[in-house]
Amino acid sequence: MKSFFTNFNFARALILLCLLGSMPLGWYGWKQYETNRQLKSDLAQGGRIEMLIQDIQRNAHIYDTKQQEQGAEGLAGESNPQTYIRTIAGTDHIDLGQVDITPSTQPRSKGIVDKIYRITPNNKQRTFRRTALANFLFKLEQGSQRVRVTEIKMETEASRKVKPEDVPNDMWTFECRITSRQRVGS
């Protein structure tokens, strides 16, 4: 070893540097080899990934079954029917904006109750196109099997000012009632 350092030159320095540098590279290569081997065993048939995929598929099937049991309608998933109504009032091609909702209940028979929601625009003077109102009422019934529009009142903007021979513009104010028949406690 003493003779190695007595005649120390550039070639020997390079050999020493390469020897010292190869140790961390050898350790890093061995770690990568172990990681690669572990990933191959995880991906092999019957490995961890296959078990995870089967678990995800099983949970997806359970979720789908539970959602079908709950009823695939918009109102069933809502804890608050008023949120359901306001969501539809704000969707595209309707744009009613803020609506006032007044809930009430009316018992029908043993164990059955009608939940009635009176819907009016937040601003009583605001008018809407007839198509927007029709879309709103249609979407209310389409989105839930339990909701029915039971009453609607529409007036033209200038109903008091229109002469019989005039054609009023297609802007309307509205008030409607929807009914959701439910079992008591749901």
Please, what are the averages of pLDDT over each run of 10 residues along the chain (186 residues)? 76 89 92 93 89 92 79 53 86 84 88 90 86 90 86 78 74 90 74
Tell me, yes or no, whether 117 and 89 share the same domain: yes
Distances (CA, A) of 88 to 112, 140, 141, 144, 163: 26, 7, 11, 11, 35
Parallel, antiparallel or unpaired: strands 128-129 and 112-121: unpaired
Tell whether 41 and 120 lie within a shared domain. no
The verdict on 79 and 66 lying in the same domain is no
User: pTM of this prediction?
Assistant: 0.55
No. of H helices and E strands in the chain?
6, 5
Alpha carbons 3 and 13: distance in angstroms, whole number:
14
Q: Which of 36, 70, 104 is the last residue of a domain?
A: 70
**Which residue among 70, 95, 121 closes a domain?**
70
Q: Are residues 18 and 64 in the same domain?
A: yes
Are 80 and 164 found together in one domain?
A: yes
The residue range of the domain holding 18 is: 2-70
Q: What is the DSSP letter of 90?
A: T
Residue with tokens 């704000």: 90
Same domain, yes or no: 92 and 169: yes
CATH (domain of 154): 3.30.70.60
Domain finish residue from 39, 70, 101: 70
